[in-house]
């Protein structure tokens, strides 16, 4: 008992001693902890809002301190925070540093920063862009989780690992490049990245962990390198747009429900001569009934547990006849007599089409009673065929309007007019077809500003919980029903 009390006493002395070496001060509305021994200032949590510029150095009682870190929870739940300028003296951003900064749209991390804490930018739902410097070597767990407006991100070649749930629920993410420096992906890394359409795994990665790509509904193409030896539980579960997959010869095991819910999977190539071990329900029963399985040794797979459930098992042919690695040709899109027509040079091609009609209406006062209505069809199509990988996506936009302003399906409008495409999915409103640098504002129906952005690559987007949003571009206003 005496020994335990002594240990507690020593621990208390250590804590008291550490605080004795510093103090808290507030300078220009920013709260710091000052370390008297190292002359460092650490920015701490406070009620921050608006645009914040953190200085590189501060002075207290005639002593100069260098700002070197943002503490845990520093800007946590600062919902009115719109921007933060981080000085080049800062080397680390703490856990939950910018958690739920829902009005933060972009941020630049200086090259001095080497560490991003757990959940650092989690739930920054309006964040559309971020620059990660080459000084950062890992992205922590939940680092960008629920950053719903983030459409793309560049990971520098200095990064070696992506933590668990790193990009979980990044609904707006459409593209990402994983550099060859990355050797490990955390579980649920890209869980529910519903707009991600393709991804290439570098050969430095040796396993795809549990739930890595679960719920990536839009994923139509993924390249798994020969370095990968295992596919985890729920790895590709509910990847509904995935029509074919090639499992390299290096893979020796597939986890529980690995491809469960992949309802459009029709072509599977497994290159390992020895059938990999297959956990229960790695493939749906329907997949086993309708998909074609291409393998090096048909007899081996017909007698292997799980694999023998496939109704159609064919041998991978050698030479030029093996087409399981070739993609279909990209389809062409035509329009005539009120009908869309898809064609493809690949024999037996079938088409997977996404057709979105955005009803673009104005929601402002027209004193002269002259209201001009326009509509847009946003078309995306890719082709699949037996023995081929899916083609790249072909896209087209159709616009038309009658002279009296009423919508019609009879003709495509051939007059010169500006097309603006509006999409809404998962609480994210996206506007595209604009010029770069245009200002786009989003309002509630009672006129409250939700946020504003300048377009990048002709696009702008925002995450919102509103049911109806008014988008203003120049002098035009568009009423959007949020889905």
3-state secondary structure the chain: CHHHHHHHHHHHHHHHHHHHCEEEEEECCEEEEEECCCCEEEECCCCCCEEEECCCEEEECCEEEEEEEECCCCCCCCCCEEEEECCCCCCEECCCCCCCCCCCCEEECCCCCCEECCCCCCCCCCCCEEECCCCCCEECCCCCCCCCCCCEEECCCCCCEECCCCCCCCCCCCEEECCCCCCEECCCCCCCCCCCCEEECCCCCCEECCCCCCCCCCCCEEECCCCCCEECCCCCCCCCCCCEEEECCCCCEECCCCCCCCCCCCEEEECCCCCCEECCCCCCHHHHHHCEEEECCHHHHHCCCCHHHCCEEEECCCHHHCCCCCECCCCEEEEECCEEEEECCCCCCEEEEEEEEEEECCCCCCCCCCCCCEEEEEEEEEEECCCCECCCCEEEEEEECCCCCCCCCCCCCCCCCCCCEEEEECCEEEEECCCCCCEEEEECCCCCEEEEEECECCEEEEECCCCEEEEEECCEEEEEECC
Note the pLDDT of residue 4. 45
Tokens encoding 393 = 């996506």
Angstrom distance (rounded) from CA 16 to CA 248: 57
Beta strands at 152-154 and 129-131: parallel, antiparallel or unpaired: unpaired
CATH for 16-149 is: 3.80.10.10
Angstrom distance (rounded) from CA 359 to CA 432: 14
Q: Which residue has the tokens 């568009």?
A: 478
| Fold designation for 197-325 | 3.80.10
Angstrom distance (rounded) from CA 158 to CA 141: 17
Q: Residue 141 in contact with residue 117, Cβ under 8 Å? A: no
Angstrom distance (rounded) from CA 478 to CA 379: 21
Note the pLDDT of residue 296. 94
Those residues with Cβ within 8 angstroms of residue 301's Cβ, 6 or more apart along the chain or in another chain: 270, 275, 293, 295, 307, 308, 310, 313
pTM over 0.85: no
10-residue mean pLDDT series, the chain (483 residues): 45 43 94 97 96 97 97 97 96 98 93 97 94 95 96 92 98 90 98 92 96 95 94 97 94 97 94 95 94 95 96 76 64 61 80 66 51 60 79 64 33 45 68 77 89 77 83 78 71
Q: Residue 104 in contact with residue 81, Cβ under 8 Å? A: yes
Angle at 431 between CA 51 and CA 455, to 5 degrees: 45
Q: Residue 401 in contact with residue 407, Cβ under 8 Å? A: yes
Angstrom distance (rounded) from CA 67 to CA 86: 10
Q: Residue 52 in contact with residue 27, Cβ under 8 Å? A: no
User: Pick from 227, 223, 316, 323: which is nearest to 273 by CA?
Assistant: 316
Residues of the chain with CATH 3.80.10.10: 16-149, 197-325
Tokens encoding 208 = 């795809």
User: Pick from 340, 343, 318: which is nearest to 331 by CA?
Assistant: 343
Tokens encoding 387 = 């023995």
Those residues with Cβ within 8 angstroms of residue 258's Cβ, 6 or more apart along the chain or in another chain: 231, 232, 233, 234, 235, 236, 237, 279, 282, 283
Beta strands at 57-60 and 63-70: parallel, antiparallel or unpaired: antiparallel
For the chain, the distance separating the N- and C-terminal CA atoms, rounded to the nearest angstrom, is: 62
Residue 185 phi, psi (nearest 5) = -115, 130
Q: Residue 304 in contact with residue 283, Cβ under 8 Å? A: no
Residues facing residue 198 across a β-bridge = 221
Q: State the sign of the Cα–Cα–Cα–Cα dihedral 228, 233, 238, 244.
A: positive
């Amino acid at each position: 008992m005496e020994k335990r009390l002594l240990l507690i006493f020593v621990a208390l002395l250590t804590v008291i001693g550490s605080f004795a070496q510093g103090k808290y001060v507030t300078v220009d509305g920013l709260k710091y902890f000052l370390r008297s021994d190292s002359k460092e200032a650490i920015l701490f949590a406070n009620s921050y809002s608006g645009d914040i510029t953190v200085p590189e150095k501060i002075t207290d009682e005639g002593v100069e301190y260098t700002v070197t870190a943002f503490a845990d929870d520093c800007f946590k739940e600062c919902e009115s925070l719109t921007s933060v300028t981080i000085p080049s003296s800062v080397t680390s951003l703490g856990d939950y540093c910018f958690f739920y900064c829902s009005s933060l749209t972009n941020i630049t991390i200086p090259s001095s920063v080497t560490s991003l804490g757990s959940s650092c930018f989690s739930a920054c739902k309006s964040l559309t862009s971020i620059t990660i410097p080459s000084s950062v070597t890992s992205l922590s767990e939940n680092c960008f989780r629920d950053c719903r407006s983030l459409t793309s991100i560049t990971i520098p070649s200095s990064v070696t690992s992506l933590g668990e749930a790193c990009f979980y629920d990044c609904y707006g993410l459409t593209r990402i490049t994983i550099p060859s420096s990355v050797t490990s992906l955390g579980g649920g890394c890209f869980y529910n990245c519903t707009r991600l359409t393709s991804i290439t795994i570098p050969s430095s990665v040796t396993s795809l962990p549990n739930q890595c790509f679960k719920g990536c509904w839009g994923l139509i193409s993924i390249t798994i390198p020969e370095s990968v030896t295992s596919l985890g539980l729920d790895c590709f579960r509910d990847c509904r747009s995935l029509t074919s997959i090639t499992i390299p010869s290096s893979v020796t095991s597939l986890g529980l429900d690995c491809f469960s819910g992949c309802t459009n999977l029709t072509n599977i190539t497994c290159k390992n001569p020895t059938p990999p071990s297959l956990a229960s329900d790695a493939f749906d029963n329907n997949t086993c009934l309708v998909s074609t399985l291409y393998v090096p040794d048909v007899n081996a797979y017909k007698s292997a547990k799980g694999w023998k459930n496939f109704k159609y098992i064919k041998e991978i042919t050698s030479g030029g006849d093996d087409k399981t690695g070739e993609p279909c040709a990209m389809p062409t899109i035509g329009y005539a007599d009120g009908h869309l027509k898809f064609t493809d040079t690949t024999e037996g091609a079938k088409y997977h089409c996404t057709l979105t009609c955005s009803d673009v209406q104005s929601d402002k006062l027209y004193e002269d009673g002259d209201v001009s209505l326009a509509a847009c069809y946003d078309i995306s199509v890719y082709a699949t065929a037996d023995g081929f990988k899916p083609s790249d996506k072909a896209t087209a936009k159709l616009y038309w309007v009658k002279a009296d302003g009423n919508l019609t399906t009879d003709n495509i409008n051939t007059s010169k007019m500006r097309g603006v495409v509006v999409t809404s999915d998962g609480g994210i409103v996206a506007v595209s077809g604009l010029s770069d640098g245009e200002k786009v504002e989003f309002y509630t129906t009672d006129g409250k500003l939700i946020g504003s952005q300048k377009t990048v690559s002709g696009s702008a987007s925002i995450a919102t919980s509103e049911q109806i949003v008014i988008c203003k571009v120049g002098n035009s206003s568009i009423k959007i029903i949020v889905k």
